Amino acid sequence: MIEKTITMSMYEYKMLSTEAEIAREAYNQLKEEKMVFLTLGTRAMDTSQMSGQIVDKDELLSKMQKHLSLMKKRGEERETSYIQRIVDLEKQLSIIQAPIKAVSKWWHKLLK
């Protein structure tokens, strides 16, 4: 293979290197825009601790979306279990109250 040499003026070379530097800075800026500094705080009895880390924004949003959908699902399951529990308690209450109302002896009427 034969190597070819491209000749250019010093001005053109400086312009190309300046354009390359601008492109690198733009790339780094876009890369930094996708990163987020996440601050985590924990509270103990008397002290609170703060810690942080740099994470990818898209990864963080996907984790938050998964957590949100999981919490919605748990909330719906909890609501249905509460409704079922209320129905069961109402059935038990109707069973307990039914015999009392069915008793109609004459001395019960005197006590009331």
β 48-56/35-43 pair status: antiparallel
Q: What is the pLDDT of residues 47-98, one digit of tens each?
A: 666 677 777 888 888 888 999 999 999 999 999 999 999 999 988 887 776 5
The residue among 13, 95, 84 whose CA lies nearest residue 21 is: 13
Q: What is the pLDDT of residues 95-112, one digit of tens each?
A: 776 555 555 666 666 666
